[in-house]
Structures are given as structure tokens and as C-alpha cells.
Amino acid sequence: MAIVRVGFIELWVRDLEKSLEFYQGLLGFRLEHREEGAAYLRGYEELEWSLKLTQAPFPAVRALGFKVDEKGLEQGLAWARQEGVPYRLESDWGRPEILRLQDPFGYPLAFYFKAEKLPRVLQNYHEHRGPGILRIDHLNVFSPRVGEATRFYQEVFGFRLTEYTEDDQGRLWASWLHRKGNVHDIAFTNGEGPRLHHFAYWLPDPLAVLKAADILAGAMRTDQIERGPGRHGISNAMFLYLKDPDGHRIELYTSDYLTVDPDLPPVRWSLNDPRRQTLWGHRTPKSWFLEGSPLLDLEDRLVPTEAPALQGLPEHVT
């Protein structure tokens, strides 16, 4: 199943107006479509929507979306049937065919190829607002079995490893896996799961990351700035982690590197390297290692979670 890239995320939110005030009003996402209880947004570079917000009784993640190639849907369907995982064909606004399935770890994936293209607004700079959200970059999920999930996503879904974190005993604590040619489309982080850790959008440059923090501060919402701005050791990207009004974590991210070489050697990080999380040595707040968003299965029921096999937190936590 040829996955092209991460494509979208669908979030359950408790108050759609509040969420839009955050995503559209402060972060400047383009609102492209609204219908009964749902909103579809995109970044300025995207030709397809990438963020769907759905009014719901509690916060959760309904789908982790991936763009596949022309034959991907058919192959995914064959695979789902063969493996016996739950699956379903759906359609959504501008996406006539979506294959939803729950992978063996419980993640609610959604594969699609066909998409109605929205008008190109990348160079409509006079319409850009906020820090200039460009495109969805990656998903990061908690997993109690990082090693297993990493192997599965490599072998079955064809992801490629770019960086990883190990402890002194060689146990895998986190992995970064890509399809599209930068550091990741998906990352696995050790922790109670399956849950979403965060989703991330690409910004035009490091100053835009600072601008996002300024905007939150200007709006007197520093409590929603969880971590950063900073530069990651892992990925080398500039980052800022925000909590949306429902506690979903969004990362603003930019300036990692090209990973298309088939012989690219993955970068190994030691769990307690102070430069791993933030190259500048900043400590990471404990919430960052513990809090995440619950997932929904194909029947919109909460996916049960398990505690991680690897216990404890890294050093360099505040």
C-alpha cells in the first residue's frame, strides 16, 4: 500500500466556535467549508483540506489520515480483508473515497487518494493571517509498544526510519518514520496508548514560530503554550507546542531536512541526551510526556489504552 504522506486529522471538539477561534482566528488556518457540526480547514500551501473539526461530546481523535497513491485504496482494502482488521469505506467533503481501518495497534487510520483540489492560495500573501500555517507535516502517537509498532509501520506500510531514541539497554523509546521525504509523517513515542501525542503543521521559517508564540501571548493565552519555541535535537526543526481549547496538542514545525536517500543512516539519540528534545538543552514539561488525546474506533467508541512496557521519564523534565 503506497502511502504518499500524512494527509489529515479529524478531531472531536466540544465547542466548535471556540476551536475555530483558535485554529482560524489565532493560528490563521483557512476555513474552507462548514456544515452541520463540522469544519474543514487547510494551510496556505495545501490544495486539500487537512484538519477536520467535529462538534462532539468529548475531545477525541476520529481519524489519522494518509494520502495514498492511485492503487493505494484497493491495496489497503485487500490488506484489511486479509488481515481481518476493522475497516469501512466512507466519503467526506471533497474526498469521495476514504478507507477507514483500525490497525493492529488500535490507531484509526484513514487512507484516501482522490481529492477535489481547492484553489491555490500559496501566493495570496495579502490573505495570509497568523504565523502562516503552510501544510500538515506529521502525526505523533503514544504507543505502549514502540518497537513493535515501528517495525510494523516499516514492514507493512513502507515507512522509513530517520531518527530514534534508545535507552542504555538498547530499548526503543521513540521513532520517527517518513514517506514524503522529510523527517517524519508519523512518530511513535513511548507512553500509555494508543493515543495521539500531537499533530504538526509546517511553518514558512523559524521567525514564524516565534510569531505564533507572540500571537498566543498577545491574546493572553500563554497557558496554551506548553513547550517552546525551541529547536529540536531530533529532526533539527524549530518547534512550538500548543494545546487547543480541548487539550489536543498541535505542533508548529519548520526546517527539518531532506531524507529521500535510500541509504540514509538513521540518527540515534540517547534517551538522556540533554540536546535530544531541545537542542539548546531546555527541559521538557512533564505534561508533554503524559498528556495525549484519546482515539476513536470505527464505531466512534474510545479505543482502550494500555500502560507502556518501558516505565519512567527521561531526565531533563521540569
CB nearer to a second copy: give 279 or 310: 279
Residues 26-45 that bind Fe ion (CB under 5 A): none
Edge to edge, what strands does the sheet with 38-42 contain? 30-35, 38-42, 51-55, 3-13, 60-68, 108-112, 95-102, 87-92
Residue nearest to Ca ion (CB): 282
CB nearer to Fe ion: give 80 or 259: 259
Residue with the three cell numbers 502525526: 139
Strand partners, 177: 161, 186
Burial of 71 (0-12, 13-18, 19+ CB in 10 A): exposed
Q: Kindly provide the residue ranges of all beta strands, DSSP E only, lying in 14-134, ordered along the sequence.
A: 30-35, 38-42, 51-55, 60-68, 87-92, 95-102, 108-112
Nearby residues of 86 by Cβ (< 8 Å), 6 or more positions away: 80, 101, 102, 297, 298
- Binder to Fe ion among 24, 102, 140, 255 (CB under 5 A)? 140
Binding mask of the shown chain, residues 225 to 264, with x at each position contacting Fe ion by CB under 5 A: --------------------------x-------------
Residue with the three cell numbers 535507552: 167
Q: Tell me the Ramachandran region of residue 236: left when phi exceeds 0, alpha when psi lies from -120 to 50, beta otherwise.
A: left
CB nearer to a second copy: give 281 or 304: 281
Backbone phi, psi, residue 207, to 5° = -60, -30
Binding status of residue 200 toward Fe ion by CB under 5 A: yes
DSSP helix/strand/coil, 94: coil
Which of a second copy, Ca ion, Fe ion, none does residue 125 bind to, with CB < 5 to 8 Å depending on kind?
a second copy
Residues that bind a second copy (CB under 8 A): 4-5, 26, 45, 47, 67, 69-70, 113-115, 117, 120, 122-129, 134-135, 180-181, 202, 204-207, 210-211, 213-219, 222-223, 225, 229-231, 233, 236, 238, 255, 257-258, 260-265, 267, 274-275, 279-281, 283, 318
CB nearer to Fe ion: give 101 or 277: 277
Binding status of residue 137 toward Fe ion by CB under 5 A: no
**Interacting residues toward Fe ion by CB under 5 A:** 140, 200, 251
**Interacting residues toward Ca ion by CB under 5 A:** 282
